[in-house]
Amino acid sequence: MNLREAEKTIAELREQISRHDYLYYVLAEPEISDQHYDKLYRQLLDLETQYPDLVTPESPTQRVGGQPLEGFAQVTHAVPMLSIDNTYNEGELREFDRRVAKGLSGERYTYVLDPKIDGVAISLRYEEGQLVLAATRGDGERGDDITQNARTIRAIPLRLKAGGDLFSGKIPEVVEVRGEVFWPTADFEKYNKQREAAGEPTFANPRNATAGTLKQLDSRIVAQRRLSFMAHGFGRIEPLSVESHWDLFQRFKAWGIPTNPHIKRVEDIDAVVREIHAWDKKRHAMAYATDGVVVKVDCIDQRRKLGVTSRSPRWCIAYKFAAERARTRLHSVRFQVGKLGTITPVANLEPVLLAGTTVKSASLHNFDQIERLGVRVGDFVYVEKAGEIIPQVVEVDEKDRPKDTRPIMPPEQCPVCSSKTVRDEGGVFLRCVSPACPAQIKERLRYFCGRDQMDIEGVGTALAEQLVDSGLVTEFADLYCLKDRREELVALERMGPKSADNLLAAIEKSKGNPLSRLLAALNIQHVGVNTAELLAERFGSMDALLAADAEELQEIEGIGPEVATSIIEFMHGKGGKRTIEHLRSIGVNRTEPKRNRSAEYRYFFDKTIVVTGTLERFSRQEAEDLIKSRGGRTAGSVSGKTAFVVAGKNPGSKLDKARDFGVEVIDETEFIIRAGMSS
């Protein structure tokens, strides 16, 4: 395939993927399977890898950012994101309608009803059809810039599509979409099962998990969690050429913005009440958690007449359904051990029907929560489905407490490996700190082999479980001894000679990885890829790092007392020392290549540089790789410690942040000169 053919094929694949995203998220009418979609995506990714000059920011492959952010910049909303008044009863709903009628002085009005998805409100800003900013609600006036995370959500279009003949194909210069990011029920439950299988604490409910996910500094983590999005409102739209919410949302749909398929327009408050009662009966069958219905005046001009209070609009109200709960008895408590040794108490219950399913167990989260509830084994308790998904104990019926109840005591030893448990200093978690704990080793092994760690292809969850269950691997160093146990490896399910040889080759190759990858793979608490790179760059070898004290560690930007303590405890703890020594004994590399200190790269060495916007000669990743090759560091956000910012086209809020901090901004031409590539 020549360049011209590749360009044509890439354009066709992008168009196909965009069309299938529209069919799936906007029309809810998918035409192909997930497997077929993934095949198209892989074809595009392979071609773009082969022809990197053809990669564009709008490509579906560019949704996930490269390096994790250092933090989130604050942005001011063009139109404040106000909260909505709530009601739980029909009387207050009708009182709201009387206020609307009075405020409109006898004008005829209609309502739009929108199911209230239990998620996290965000604002998306499109300029000339392209997504330029995504922000959380924050305090309503200012929120966090989460553009990098929002780009990973496939339901959010990176570029709006023309609306066809119906709307003359024109999209306003500025379109601000307000909506809800949420975790679909099936995907949330699947992810929680994976965490449970790995011995990690499960998330309590989709909403809190979604909020936590959007706060992740590494967009790759966000991409793994399959969040979704639906629009429910709007901010600034210039020019605004429609008169009603209903008509605007028809345009949203045509532009490729997902809207709720259950949105309705009704004539009066009686119809509102009927629809709310009907929705209460069918909401449990939806693919996402809902906790009510939002009632909005449809006409935009009438909304302006009704106005807003200091915190909420006068033209809408949210009718919320009461959470379902059930009373049952807590028979016993079991303790689950997670990847980092976190011990989570889980209540074993007398089976009870709740929101259409039989509940036999419920999370107690941690031992501080047990103390707050005052719950004991044998108690009668009330259980709710948080976010209508995950059962949790929310209250104890102390008036009917049996005489034979007994306290729930935190285990002094790990329930799996019998190691002594340790409570986080100032925290609420109890942990098993033994790196050899069987309940942790499977997930730690999978993590050790991950792409951003030792990059041993083929060691996923299933194989990691087999390797540990068969006794072939009890610690990381055992991986490198598998070549001496090839016959046993071949005998594993779905392995075979060829797969075994490929795995052994990948394992052997990983021995030569730099120290930064090894440090990231060791699963040291609070040490991710970025911190591992900082440590490796500063100390250069494992021996030098082992000799460092907490004070030296904290001299590194981004490493504070908590992270330093975690590193010291791992490096000098019995389990960590054994792990490091065993990896050394089988020949795993323990050094980091020295960064280029050449005088010609003085602009880069030991400096933090931010790349923003679209460059003509480089992709974002290529520019950041070049900076690192010249001895520099890259960051995802601008701070006072940023040396300079490389700004391409459409640089967004990072350019404003650079100006606020007085940080130097250079263009691509100057970047090329400083990199010594001008010739």
- Residue 52 CA to residue 64 CA, distance in Å, equals 16
Spatial strand order in the sheet of 228-238 = 130-136, 120-127, 174-182, 228-238
- Residue 550 CA to residue 475 CA, distance in Å, equals 27
AA identity, residue 32:
I
- Residue 489 CA to residue 89 CA, distance in Å, equals 63
Residue 239, preceding peptide bond in cis (omega within 30° of 0): yes
The H-assigned helical ranges of 51-169 are 90-103, 147-150
- Residue 76 CA to residue 181 CA, distance in Å, equals 19
- Residue 416 CA to residue 408 CA, distance in Å, equals 18
Catalytic residue among 116, 442, 628, 657: 116
Cβ atoms of residues 227 and 63 within 8 Å: no
Cβ atoms of residues 410 and 399 within 8 Å: no
Q: Alpha carbon of 347 to those of 62, 112, 394: distances in Å?
A: 43, 42, 12
Q: Answer yes or no: 116 catalytic.
A: yes
The owner of tokens 């263009």 is: 667
Q: How crowded is the C-beta side of 541, counted as CA atoms within 13 Å?
A: 4
CB neighbours of residue 612 within 10 Å: 22
Q: Which three-class secondary structure state does DSSP give residue 402? A: coil
Residues 6+ apart with CB under 8 A from 137: 81, 120, 121, 122, 123, 143
CA end-to-end span of the chain, whole Å?
30
Nearest to 70 by CA among 638, 652, 644, 653: 638
Helix/strand/coil (H/E/C) assignment for every residue in 595-610: CCCCHHHCCCCCCEEE
Q: Which three-class secondary structure state does DSSP give residue 194? A: helix
Nearest to 585 by CA among 480, 452, 465: 480
- Residue 569 CA to residue 549 CA, distance in Å, equals 11
- Residue 385 CA to residue 326 CA, distance in Å, equals 9
Residues 6+ apart with CB under 8 A from 538: 556
- Residue 209 CA to residue 182 CA, distance in Å, equals 9
Q: What is the dihedral of CA 22, 217, 46, 515, to 10 degrees?
A: -170
AA identity, residue 44:
L
Hey, what are 533's tokens? 């790179």
Q: Alpha carbon of 168 to those of 239, 251, 254, 660: distances in Å?
A: 14, 11, 11, 40
Cβ atoms of residues 290 and 117 within 8 Å: yes
Nearest to 169 by CA among 261, 258, 256: 256
Residues 6+ apart with CB under 8 A from 50: 6
**Active-site amino acid positions:** 116
